[in-house]
């Protein structure tokens, strides 16, 4: 395996050691300051955090879950100042890696600013799987559109915010997905919330895979319908749940096509098979499948040769399509209904014309070069997983899927590993509790078609070294 230090970052004067260590100046509370009714308070120990007098906590003992609003009572901002003390300690220990500032295009490598200078880092935290955000044809299309149509659409879609470009993109997406019609939303999040809450009523049932994305869960809650969950991709227990729902209820079964946390694929053939026995409608979230699997990147139904068999296909334009926005594609009558009842559609301004033009160009590129781009992405994903598995590091998910989860299983260790990888010039994501169960906290790397072999080898090598150092490899 090739090892190179070219991405290594020199320790800045703001590294852990030199940072102002609040713990040395004030007493650290070593145990959880959660008192009666889980109110977090300890008036005896305090520290000034940005002019606000608050408690000092040892962040190693806490997670974000401890500062959830429901653990607090009394003055509304109590939770805010207590959280501030926790997050300040995380920052001081050098573990805080959210919102790193990127000052370049979001490619396979990026320039990241810290307080004193800029570094080149290899980016393994982008959903821009095919690297299309920087494609010259895409940029040209956006520039032309902004000159012709200006920076914004000027309105919500039903009332003055629909341009011919929006209609063109809807038509192209419907065709790409093999469906009759499509409708655009301002984000994938609002697409899921809009479609589910507009279709599922209080007399209906929405059935969810346990690992469905938060936006599907939020849409399901907002719908007011009965909410049923089955264990991840477990078809036997799904059938049991379906069998228990009275036959006079409307049922929407929703799954991610490619699951965003585990990198595996929904068992669509079995789901479609169950339709022979039970009367339900299907919806698939193609956020991480569009541009990633299926012929020309058409997604999960195409991957399984089941195009036209799913009732509603939802997708985002923020990942492999390289821009922003969400959509659903379905029959003309479903799309027509959703246009008039999805509040997140008609109460929200439509996407800007430059974005729409760039997306139409991306569909052109996929219809032309999709096979080669997707193959490159799969090859890179398989190669990276292969490098790790040669060193006995297990990854979750399908070998060719670009989402690569590596379970660490200990939140504190995860923070350390994450910050050490950062020092090595590797921009990866850490997924701590409560986003996943404690024992499943993980590194989550996203592979791109544009990563070079050198970059993949360097990253794998650094991960292996750190995992060895912390005895996370059991051979």
Ligand X SMILES: Cc1ncc(COP(=O)(O)O)c(C=O)c1O
Q: Copy the structure tokens of residue 245.
A: 């729902």
Determine, following the binding rule CB under 6 A, whether residue 455 of this chain makes contact with ligand X: no
Angle between helices 453-469 and 353-390 (to 10 degrees): 50
Please list every residue from 79 through 108 that binds ligand X, using CB under 6 A: none
Determine, following the binding rule CB under 6 A, whether residue 358 of this chain makes contact with ligand X: no
Q: Which is nearer to ligand X, 427 or 458 (CB)?
A: 427
Please list every residue from 306 through 335 that binds ligand X, using CB under 6 A: 316, 318, 326
- CA dist 335 and 180 (Å) reads 9
- Please provide the distance, in angstroms rounded to a whole number, between the alpha carbons at the two ends of the chain: 19
Determine, following the binding rule CB under 6 A, whether residue 444 of this chain makes contact with ligand X: no
Contact 37, 449 (CB under 8 A): no
Closest distance to ligand X from the beta carbon of 189 (Å) = 4
| Cis amide bond preceding 38, omega within 30 | no
Closest distance to ligand X from the beta carbon of 435 (Å) = 12
Closest distance to ligand X from the beta carbon of 324 (Å) = 6
Q: Which of 93, 135, 166, 213 binds ligand X (CB under 6 A)?
A: 213
- CA dist 122 and 428 (Å) reads 9
Contact 184, 169 (CB under 8 A): yes
Q: Which is nearer to ligand X, 260 or 450 (CB)?
A: 260
Catalytic residue among 319, 361, 378, 416: 319
Q: Which of 188, 238, 174, 180 is nearest to 218 (CA)?
A: 188
Closest distance to ligand X from the beta carbon of 212 (Å) = 8
Q: Which is nearer to ligand X, 93 or 213 (CB)?
A: 213
Number of residues that bind ligand X (CB under 6 A): 14
Closest distance to ligand X from the beta carbon of 321 (Å) = 10
Determine, following the binding rule CB under 6 A, whether residue 294 of this chain makes contact with ligand X: no
In the DSSP assignment, the letter for residue 4 is -
Q: Copy the structure tokens of residue 184.
A: 């655009």
Q: Is 418 a catalytic residue?
A: no
Q: Is 319 a catalytic residue?
A: yes
Length of the chain: 475
Q: Which of 188, 219, 225, 352 binds ligand X (CB under 6 A)?
A: 188
Closest distance to ligand X from the beta carbon of 259 (Å) = 8
Q: Which is nearer to ligand X, 179 or 245 (CB)?
A: 179
Q: Which is nearer to ligand X, 188 or 370 (CB)?
A: 188
Q: Is 295 a catalytic residue?
A: no
Query: What are the helix and strand counts (H, E) for the chain?
Result: 14, 15
Under 8 Å CB-to-CB from 354, ≥6 apart: which residues? 142, 143, 145, 146, 149, 151
| Contact string (CB under 6 A) for ligand X, positions 250-289, x = contact | ------x---x------------------------x-xx-
Answer left, alpha or beta for residue 409, where phi above 0 means left and psi between -120 and 50 means alpha: left
CA dihedral 26, 41, 86, 44 (to 10 degrees): 0
Under 8 Å CB-to-CB from 257, ≥6 apart: which residues? 265, 266, 268, 284, 285, 286, 287, 288, 289, 293, 299, 300
Under 8 Å CB-to-CB from 190, ≥6 apart: which residues? 215, 326, 344, 345, 348
Determine, following the binding rule CB under 6 A, whether residue 125 of this chain makes contact with ligand X: no
Catalytic residue among 288, 361, 416, 451: 288
Determine, following the binding rule CB under 6 A, whether residue 350 of this chain makes contact with ligand X: no
CB-closest chain residue to ligand X: 188
Q: Which of 363, 412, 393 is nearest to 472 (CA)?
A: 393
Q: Which of 133, 215, 330, 450 binds ligand X (CB under 6 A)?
A: 215
The alpha-helical segments, DSSP class H, found in 246-310 are 268-274, 300-303
**Contact stretch for ligand X (CB under 6 A) within 146-154, 187-195, 355-363, 449-457:** 187-195
**Contact stretch for ligand X (CB under 6 A) within 83-91, 163-171, 183-191, 349-357:** 183-191
Determine, following the binding rule CB under 6 A, whether residue 395 of this chain makes contact with ligand X: no
Catalytic residue among 260, 344, 350, 446: 260
Closest distance to ligand X from the beta carbon of 127 (Å) = 7
Closest distance to ligand X from the beta carbon of 209 (Å) = 11
- Binding residues (CB under 6 A) for ligand X: these are 187-189, 192, 213, 215, 256, 260, 285, 287-288, 316, 318, 326
**Which active-site residues does the annotation give?**
260, 288, 319
């Amino acid at each position: 395996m090739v090892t190179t230090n070219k991405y290594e970052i020199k320790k800045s004067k703001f590294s852990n050691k030199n940072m102002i260590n609040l713990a040395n100046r004030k007493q650290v509370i070593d145990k959880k300051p959660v008192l009666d009714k889980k109110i977090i308070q300890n008036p005896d120990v305090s520290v000034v955090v940005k002019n606000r007098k608050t408690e000092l906590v040892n962040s190693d003992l806490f997670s974000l879950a401890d500062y959830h609003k429901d653990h607090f009572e009394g003055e509304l901002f109590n939770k805010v100042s207590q959280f501030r003390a926790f997050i300040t300690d995380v920052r001081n220990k050098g573990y805080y890696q959210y919102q790193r500032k990127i000052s370049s295009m979001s490619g396979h490598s990026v320039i990241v600013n810290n307080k004193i200078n800029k570094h080149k880092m290899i980016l393994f935290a982008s959903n821009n799987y095919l690297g299309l955000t920087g494609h010259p044809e895409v940029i040209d299309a956006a520039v032309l559109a902004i000159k012709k149509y200006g920076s914004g659409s000027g309105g919500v879609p039903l009332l003055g915010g629909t341009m011919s470009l929006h209609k063109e993109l809807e038509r192209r997406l419907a065709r790409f997905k093999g469906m009759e019609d499509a409708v655009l939303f301002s984000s994938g999040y609002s697409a899921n919330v809009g479609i589910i809450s507009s279709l599922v009523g209080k007399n209906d049932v929405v059935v969810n895979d346990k690992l469905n994305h938060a936006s599907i869960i939020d849409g399901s809650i907002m719908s007011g319908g009965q909410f049923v969950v089955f264990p991840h991709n477990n078809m036997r227990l799904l059938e049991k749940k379906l069998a228990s729902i009275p036959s006079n209820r409307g049922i929407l079964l929703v799954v991610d096509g490619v699951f965003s946390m585990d990198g595996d694929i929904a068992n669509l053939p079995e789901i479609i098979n169950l339709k022979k026995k039970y009367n339900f409608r299907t919806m698939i979230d193609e956020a991480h499948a569009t541009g990633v699997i299926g012929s020309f990147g058409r997604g999960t139904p195409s991957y399984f040769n089941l195009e036209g068999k799913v009732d509603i296909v939802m997708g985002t334009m923020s990942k492999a399509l390289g821009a922003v926005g969400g959509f659903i594609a379905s029959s003309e009558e479903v799309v027509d209904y959703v246009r008039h009842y999805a509040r997140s559609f008609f109460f929200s301004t439509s996407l800007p014309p430059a974005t729409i033009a760039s997306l139409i160009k991306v569909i052109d590129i996929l219809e032309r070069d999709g096979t080669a781009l997707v193959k490159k992405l799969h090859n890179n994903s398989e190669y990276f997983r292969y490098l790790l598995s040669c060193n006995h590091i297990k990854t979750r998910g399908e070998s060719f899927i670009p989402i690569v989860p590596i379970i660490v299983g200990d939140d504190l260790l995860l923070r350390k590993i994450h910050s050490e990888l950062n020092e090595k010039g590797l921009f990866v994501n850490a997924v701590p509790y409560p986003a996943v169960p404690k024992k499943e906290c993980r590194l989550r790397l996203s592979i791109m078609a544009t990563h070079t072999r050198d970059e993949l080898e360097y990253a794998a090598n650094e991960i292996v070294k750190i995992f060895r150092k912390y005895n996370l490899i059991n051979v």
